[in-house]
Structure 1
Amino acid sequence: MTIHATRGRRARRLAGACLLALVVSGGARAAPIPVRVVVVTTFEIGKDTGDVPGEFQTWVEKLPLKQELPAPGTWHGVMRYSPDLHVLAIATGEGPEHMASAITALVLDPRFDLRRAYFVLAGIAGIDPNFGSVGGAVWAPRVVNGGLAHAVDAREIPGDWPDGYTPVQGSTPTDNPVPPLHSLSGDMEYTLNPALVGWAYNLTRSLALPDTPALKAIRARYVGYPQAQKPPSVLLGDTLSSETFWVGARMNRWAERWVGYWTQGKGTFATTAEEEIGMMQALTLQAQAGRVDPDRVLVLRTGSNFDMPPPGETAAELLKSETSEGGYSGYLPAVAAAYQVGSVVVRELALHWDRYGDQVPGTPPAQGR
């Protein structure tokens, strides 16, 4: 980076910080920065531009998002903004805690009025080979909490239990009726606006996602898993949010059961990631204060790796290969797919604000308009 570029970046950050200070102090009450869509990403592995991309960098470079804004109280410390599209992007940091704190800081930031903004989480994830393939993109109708549970050590699981996990308010894995979803223990399942999710899916379902020799080689190993052997595509399926990075066929069976249990048979486990539950909890609480609209939230996950090994390979071997031997096997195609699919929706919303500012797509017109 040149000295002039460095000075320019510092100047932009200083200007943003001064604006924030003035607004917070009440010295000069600036008009809110208009935001039509918030793109939520979870990490960046280097710089925001010019190196190996993380989730955030792809949006910065390709949308593009040229303006830097300070993001106080967040992991990344900087957000990016497009004054032309009125799109804001944030890198929250990995894990539900980073996500919840970053989203709360953003919503409470006096520079923004987010009451009509759409939130689009676009990130990579593990994918169930019984559902889809690496490199594929999945819009989530539901988010299920995979981190809150009673757990029994594997060596002590009763013989008639399918696994060692029970609901916090229950004593067996299949307690019936299902304990209340909203309780002192936390929120276990969130159903996103079906009309909006369906609209986003229909808008992108025909996109041709990149397929590479590497992806073909990965999925060829999953003999006996017909969905895993298909080329990448855009799908609909639920996401399980858990801070624990789990792996293996037994854990995959638990995830499929857990999603089915908390959705009472309506859901289909598709992807596994960390942050959704933190985002949904934060946005739901802020919606109670009227600061955001919970019907304007979308979750898009793309498969960077399978969550269980192919036949003939152990879970430990898969974990080693995915975490210490060059990273997730489908990482770069998944990062690219998150932008390719997500940007279609983001651009549609931003460029047709006269249509979507007051009316959530897929929903009937409000009475009296």
Structure 2
Amino acid sequence: MSRSPALKRPTMIARAFRLHQTARAVCAAAVLALVPTLAHATEAPIPVKVFVGAMFEIGKNTGDRAGEFQHWYERYWMNAKPIEVTGAIAPVYCNDDGVCGAVLGMGKVNSSASMQAILLNPRFDFSKAYYILSGVAGTPPQRGTIADVIWATWVLDYDLGHRWAPEENTAGAPTFMPRKGYEDYRRFKLNPLLVDWAMKLSADTPLADSETAQRYRQRYPDEAARRAPAVATGTHMSGDTFFHGPGLSKEAQYIAKLYGADDYRITEMEGAAIALVIKRTHGTDRVLALRGAVNFDQGNPNETTLQHLDPKPGETAGGFAETVQNIERVGSRVVDHIVQHWDAWKDGVPAQ
């Protein structure tokens, strides 16, 4: 026997009340979820004076073995709250002086994706920002040594072009040909006036060294390889490939000369890609690239390239800890000067 409409009515009212309460709960949760977004939307964007981009950190940002970011973090952001950015590999940190920084990730795709996400995030105002792209790298023993710190005059893409096997070429000839029409994507001449400022402010920075690195340098006959570390300038070569050996090092120098750049002093992975991202949004007149050498890009004359890549215990270059310290020592001189003299720098690189 079916119930009468009068008997059904309390059940229907109760069900409607439960649905109403559920809808209110869902709406309340949605509003609460939007609160941080709405709060951020009403906040004024952070005016960035200097942005420091590192590529990796080994562990934590402080208190353990330092990678590329830790010394920067300990100097500028120990009390800063992390700012999560969708699309970036790690949070951004900013201090009250307008110095911001982040780990961007290793490799061209990884780092440039993070940089693009950060640049487009409305939490930040990059309209007057200066950039320091910071990290470790390799160096050819003919022109550099372990713990050197090199400001880039040019940043070049090592990969964008045509390559073929050496045995398919005239013996000893280059096996690289640039792809026409991609000039703006693969070579970046950094602002000479800004690079001059960087050298003026940091050339006399005392650099750390180690006995391990000192012993390792003596394995090489080159005068540049055997000397103490220094601050200098030169071309940075960006490639996703960790190229090693005298043949590929020679080819990197060939590419540098082919593009009209200075001698290549640094082999790294990210600079050209990050420079391109910054160029498309704000231009590269305020970009600096700073790298410290933690390895030679080839073995000494008494070892093969594979022996150089897979050394025996105790035969590594050493000097990593000292080099990451040197990078921050050198770079912070420029960061601090720009911030302390912001009125002179905010509208562009001042004349010397």
- How many angstroms apart in 2 are the aligned matches of 1:245 and 1:342? 25
Question: Alpha-carbon deviations, 1:251-301, whole Å to 9, x = none?
Answer: 1111111111112xx411100000001111101111xxxxx2421110011
Q: CA deviation at 1:361?
A: 3.2
Q: What residue is the counterpart of 2:342 in the other structure?
A: 353
Q: Does 1:60 align with 2:58?
A: no
Matched, 1:281 2:307: no
Give the helix-richer structure, 1 or 2.
2
Counterparts of 1:18 and 1:71, CA distance in 2:
16
1:330 CA drift (Å): 2.8
- One-letter amino acid of the structure 2 residue matched with residue 243 of structure 1: D
> Does residue 317 in structure 1 map to residue 317 in structure 2?
no
Whether 1:22 and 2:19 are equivalent positions in the alignment is no
Question: Match for 2:81: what amino acid?
Answer: E
Query: Hey, what does 1:164 align to over in structure 2?
Result: 175
Partner SS state of residue 38, structure 2: helix
Give the conservation status (yes or no) of the 8 Å contact 1:63–1:343. no
Larger Rg: 2
How far did residue 79 of structure 1 move? 1.8
Asked if the contact 1:117/1:293 (under 8 Å) is kept, the reply is: no
Residue 153 of structure 2 contacts residue 195 of structure 2 at CA under 8 Å; is this kept in 1?
Answer: yes
Distance 1:65 1:203 in 2: 25
**Match runs of 1:272-311 below 5 Å:** 272-286=267-281, 292-311=282-301
Compute the displacement of 1:328 (Å).
Answer: 6.1
Q: Conserved in 2, the CA contact under 8 Å of 1:66 and 1:80?
A: no
- CA displacement, residues 329-357 of structure 1 (integer Å, 9 cap, x when unaligned): 33212111110100110111112212211
Among 118, 124, 133, the alignment partner of 1:112 is 124
> How far 1:19 moved relative to its partner?
8.0
Determine if the alignment matches structure 1 residue 44 to structure 2 residue 42. Answer: no
3-state SS in 2 of match to 1:132? coil
Match of 1:234 in 2: 231
Instruction: Give the counterpart of 1:197 among 192, 195, 198.
Output: 195
Instruction: Give the AA of the match of 2:37.
Output: A
CA distance in 2, matches of 1:20, 1:58: 31
Matched position secondary structure for 2:249: helix
User: Does 2:259 align with 1:262?
Assistant: yes
Aligned to 2:25: none
**SS in structure 1 opposite 2:224?**
coil
Paired with 1:344 and 1:293, the residues of 2 have a C-alpha distance of: 23
Q: Percent identity?
A: 30
Question: What pairs up with 1:67-86 in 2 under 5 angstroms?
Answer: 67-83=80-96, 85-86=97-98
TM-superposed CA distance for 1:63, in Å, is: 3.2
Give the partner amino acid of 1:141.
T
Offset at residue 120 of structure 1 (A): 0.6
Spell out the pairing of 1:144-163 with structure 2 (5 A cutoff): 144-159=156-171, 162-163=173-174
SS in 2 for 1:228: helix
Match of 1:95 among 107, 119, 141: 107
Q: Is the 8 A contact 1:23 1:110 kept in 2?
A: no
Code of the aligned partner of 1:358: D
Q: Which residue identity does 1:309 align to in structure 2? A: G
Partners of 1:238 and 1:307 in 2: how far apart?
Answer: 14
1:211 maps to amino acid: D
Which range moves more in the overlay, 327-336 or 271-280?
A: 327-336
- Aligned partners of 1:165 and 1:59: how far apart in 2? 37
Alignment gaps of 5+ in structure 2: 1-32
Query: Is the contact made by 2:239 and 2:268 (CA closer than 8 Å) also made in structure 1?
Result: yes
Change in 2 beyond 3 A, CA 1:359/1:163: closer
Structure 2 CA distance, aligned partners of 1:54 and 1:318?
A: 22
* 2:208 corresponds to: 210
C-alpha distance 254-81 of structure 1, shift in aligned 2 (>3 A): same
Q: Shift of residue 321 of structure 1?
A: 2.9
1:342 equivalent to 2:335? Answer no
Aligned residues: 320
- In structure 2, give the amino acid aligned to 1:203: L
Match in the other structure for 2:14: none
Give 5+ residue unaligned stretches, structure 1: 1-16, 170-178, 287-291, 364-369
CA–CA distance in structure 1, aligned partners of residues 36 and 334 of structure 2: 30
TM-score, with normalisation over the residues of structure 1?
0.81
Could you say if the C-alpha distance between residues 74 and 362 of structure 1 is closer, same or farther in structure 2, counting changes exceeding 3 Å? farther
Tell whether the 8 Å contact from 1:125 to 1:272 is kept in structure 2 after alignment.
yes
CA distance in 2, matches of 1:247, 1:122: 21
Compared with structure 1, are the counterparts of its residues 328 and 180 closer, same or farther at alpha carbon in structure 2 (3 Å cutoff)? same
Compute the TM-score of the two structures, normalised by the length of structure 2: 0.85
CA distance 1:58–1:327, change in 2 (3 Å): farther
